[in-house]
A and B are shown apart, each in its own frame.
Chain A
């Protein structure tokens, strides 16, 4: 695989949220607005890139029996750093993402990439993989957040384009499931079309 393929596969072909169906909890939980989706995506990207780099560097010194706990410690430390940084510099976003920031530790996306990619590849490839996956995740969350925000409160990135309230259900729990279901179906259709052409 070329470097570009490693990087780009996370964006559509193996999009973590829409194709691999990883990291669903934050995907559904925080995407009440586009900005929250973007923030969560970038936060996850930070963790997945750094954890991929660190794990690919230390993979040879970790005994195989304890590799999962060791990875979890690396990821949890990165998440703690992220928590402290976000609390200091973007307190508003930190508050609105709330519980889902510590829960990045158990986001299957991060551990999944460590297990599936970083422990078999070198640091540069792992960084590219993490970056691509992080971008794909960010993209999916931002689109989902934007769709819910537009339908639910008639605004996008906080800019109101419709007077009054939107369909409140889309900001609440049911809307998250409905919009994500439709988004995954859309991604299915899109990737089918693209890969039919390639064949």
Chain B
């Protein structure tokens, strides 16, 4: 039951893109086609779950030695090297998966969803390792959902007639705003 609560809250109520504003750059940048959106969210899900689990235990270490102020530096370094490692391992173990996720992986280091979710997961005192992992996975799913819906909308939007000043990014933001409005309908769900 508690896991279900975490999942629904992270995907719909507090959607990572549309309510928490994390990972907006790739949300606007790589969401032109549904296919690339799926690839990107797959790569994010993969890295986010691993990163959150690893940083969860690193936070325990930081707490143990009372050097919590090192959180930002250690987390970003861990995530950056993790992305590199995932890339290398994936290349060796599953070339097919690497082919489809490959180009998105280096982008993830500077995707603030990974660092953001890792920090959110450790700052929630009630979360154990399992809850943190579920939280990360649910956030990744929420991210994927928003990205894929938005990519579908933008594919349609390319055919629409838009005033010249609004072309491109501005209309994308307006569309995202309306999407966020729709997602607000979920608030109060749990």
Contact = CB atoms under 8 A, between A and B. Distances in A.
Contact of B177 (A25, A176, A192): A176
Given A106-B111, A169-B181, A188-B165, A79 B72 contact: yes
A123 B184 CA distance: 47
A177 B173 contact: yes
A192 B180 CA distance: 30
A93 interface: no
B169 A184 contact: yes
Contacts of B25: 21-22, 24-25, 108
A103 B112 contact: yes
Contacts of B21: 24-25, 28-29, 173, 176
B20 interface: yes
A91 B98 CA distance: 45
A181 B115 contact: no
Most chain A CB neighbours (cut-off 10 Å) among B70, B72, B81, B183: B72
Interface stretch (A48-56, A68-76, A127-135, A152-160): A68-76
Contacts of A180: 173
A29 B24 CA distance: 10
B177 A76 contact: no
B176 interface: yes
Nearest to B172: A181
A111 B110 contact: yes
Contact of A188 (B77, B170, B180, B184): B170
Interface string A1-41: 00000000000000000000110110111000000000000
B177 A175 contact: yes
Interface in B1-47: 18-25, 28
Interface string A100-137: 00110111100100000000000000000000000000
A84 B19 CA distance: 27
A106 B118 CA distance: 13
Interface of B: 18-25, 28, 69-73, 75-77, 80-81, 109-112, 115-116, 119-120, 163, 165-166, 169-174, 176-178, 180-181, 183-184
17 contacts: A21-B28, A24-B28, A25-B21, A102-B75, A105-B72, A108-B110, A111-B110, A173-B19, A173-B180, A173-B184, A175-B177, A177-B180, A178-B177, A182-B170, A184-B170, A184-B173, A189-B165
What are the nearest 7 A-B pairs in CB distance? A181-B173, A177-B177, A29-B21, A24-B24, A178-B177, A185-B170, A174-B181
Given A173-B19, A178-B173, A184-B173, 13 more contacts: A24-B24, A25-B22, A25-B25, A28-B21, A80-B73, A102-B72, A103-B22, A106-B109, A175-B177, A177-B173, A178-B177, A185-B166, A185-B170
